[in-house]
Amino acid sequence: MAKRTQAKLLKKLQYRYGKMAAKMEEYYHQLDFRGLDDFDDDGFAYLMEKVKGIEMLDLNETDISNDSIQLLIRLEYVKEIRAKGCQNLDNDCIPYLSQLPSLEFLHLKYTQVTIDGLLQLIGLPNLKTLMFSAEEGEDIRGKLLQLHAKFPDCELVVDGKVQHFDK
């Protein structure tokens, strides 16, 4: 039964994304999946099979989850991830993000990733910009200071506002 389900899924993916998959390249300056309706982990995995490196990956407003972020660790590099509004991303993607040392820009606004999760990020020596949301009314100043201490050369943008820190 599982084989039949897998075969059915593959057939569905080939129907929806077959032409796009055939044109996929190994390296991209910009790879944008925003415009794909109902784009999820299965579609992402199917389309990413040949990809080895991406400068800027745009996943904004897609239905991908932590599973798609996990797939990125096999890439040679990914410098930017734009995942604004990906409601299925949560703090469980942090260990995978931490395995992307080439990451320079990370946009997680309107996801389920919290500042507590972001404080678990490690190993991102090139991170220059981190954009995320805070729960309304939540006092995160102390946690922002901790995050700034972990990534002193990184611009922190919370709910669209650049955070400034005394030197």
Give tens-digit pLDDT for 106-128: 999 999 999 999 999 999 999 99
pLDDT confidence tier of residue 5, bands split at 50, 70 and 90: confident
Greatest CA separation for the chain: 61
The CA-CA-CA angle for residues 143, 149, 152, to 5°, reads: 125
Sorted by where each begins, the domain ranges of the chain are 2-162
The set of residues, in sequence order, having a beta carbon less than 8 Å from that of 74 and lying 6+ positions away, is none
Mean pLDDT, residues 117-140 taken together: 92
pTM of this structure? 0.94
pLDDT confidence tier of residue 52, bands split at 50, 70 and 90: very high
Residue 134: pLDDT above 70?
yes
Mean pLDDT, residues 37-59 taken together: 97
| CATH code, residues 2-162 | 3.80.10.10
| Residue 100 in tokens | 């992307």
Cα(20)–Cα(47) distance, integer angstroms: 8
